[in-house]
Amino acid sequence: MAAESIYIPTYIGSVDYQPARVQPRSLFYNGLKECEPYYITSGSVATEFNFFPHFDNYAGDQSTTGSLSLLFFNEPAAYGTAPTASLYNQYWEDYVSLLYNPRTRLLNMSAVIPLAAYFDMELNDLVQFRGNTYHLRAINNYNLATGECDVQLLGPVLETVFGADVPRPLPPGTLPEAPEIPTE
């Protein structure tokens, strides 16, 4: 392996190349990387090093188009090529496309939710209302005694956004069939 130059990421905060104040962040530790020799002095003793710890926004010694990325929009990679997917693609793209779809609506309503169901609910759960499936965005002002609350729903969830596995409501008075038990 040939020794490489040390790449120290810098975060620029202005067009005058003033450094940006960067808050703590998560990075991938990609092991030690061989580099040209450098020295660290402590008092009068200088120690030579040929390796440095490689921390990066991308996973892997040499990032590839399939590497994991911690960025929302990928930037050029210091070593290798920038991945094609990012945090935005992995976690937010479907949600943002649903949010700005002209067929999507944000519904604010009052509801009565039993306490046991309230404890089991999580934000972004799929719920059904009037024959459509919605994302649960918020439950506010929940009254523990009566179960009354304000609910915010986003949707309806479109099958073209999240695929055909979106639950559909059952006709009134029907029960789902028991799942078949595999016989192997």
For residue range 100-122, list pLDDT tens digits in order.
888 888 889 999 999 988 998 88
Which of 18-32, 109-123, 136-150 shows the lowest mean pLDDT across its residues?
18-32
Residue 140 in this model has a pLDDT that exceeds 90: yes
For the chain, the average pLDDT equals 78
Q: Residue 172: which pLDDT band, with cuts at 50, 70 and 90? A: very low
Q: What percent of the chain has a predicted confidence (pLDDT) above 90? A: 12
Q: What percent of the chain has a predicted confidence (pLDDT) above 70? A: 80
> What tokens does 121 get?
């609910």
- β-strands 132-140, 126-129 pairing: antiparallel
CA–CA separation, 85 and 71 (whole Å): 9
pTM listed for this prediction: 0.46
Q: Residue 92: which pLDDT band, with cuts at 50, 70 and 90? A: confident
Cβ within 8 Å of residue 123, ≥6 positions away: 136, 137, 138
pLDDT value for 178: 45
